[in-house]
Amino acid sequence: MQATTPSPAWDLVTVPARQGLEAVDILRRGAAADGVGPVLHDDGCGTLGFLVPSGTAAAWDVPGSTCVETEGRGMSLVVPEPPVEGSDWLLPPGEADLATDPAVLRAALGEAARLIEAADSCR
């Protein structure tokens, strides 16, 4: 019988899909390209969720986003199924680090918001 290890605790930062997709692009082409962790996409709500280290929710204050504690909720990230019903992996575990650095994510979300604002003002 193979031993199983408990799932790591992590928090989940949720943002609108447009901003999240921009942030993923920024993260993947930036200096921290290897630092983006698994990302969930929720088609029904039009959101993206970034897995971040546990404890991030306590100090998260980025406008337009939410960060909730999950404490792993006993969910394994090694299976192909996403840990949130009704969602799918944009960046699945195994192709990404276990969690995105909150400071790097905060910067990418800020840059994404500025890009979206500039694009919308040009219409």
Q: Report the percent of the chain where pLDDT is more than 90.
A: 47
- Is the CA virtual torsion 90, 93, 95, 99 positive or negative? positive
For residue 25, what pLDDT is reported?
A: 93
Q: How is residue 50 annotated by DSSP? A: E
pTM as predicted: 0.81
Range from 8-17, 76-85, 109-118 that averages highest in pLDDT: 109-118
pLDDT for 53-68, tens place per residue?
A: 989 999 999 999 999 9
pLDDT at 16: 96
Residue 21 CA, chain-centre distance (Å), reads: 10
Is the C-alpha dihedral spanning 78, 84, 85, 91 positive or negative? negative
| Residue 116, Ramachandran bin (φ over 0: left; ψ between -120 and 50: alpha; else beta) | alpha
CB atoms within 10 A of CB 21: 16
Tokens representing 1? Answer: 């019988």
Task: Identify the helix (H) or strand (E) that includes residue 44.
Answer: none
The answer on pLDDT for 82 being more than 70 is: no
Give mean pLDDT, residues 9-24: 93
- The residue with tokens 């100090």 is 59
Query: Has residue 96 got a pLDDT over 60?
Result: no
Q: How far apart are CA 110 and CA 99, in angstroms?
A: 19
Q: Is the pLDDT reported for residue 74 higher than 80?
A: no
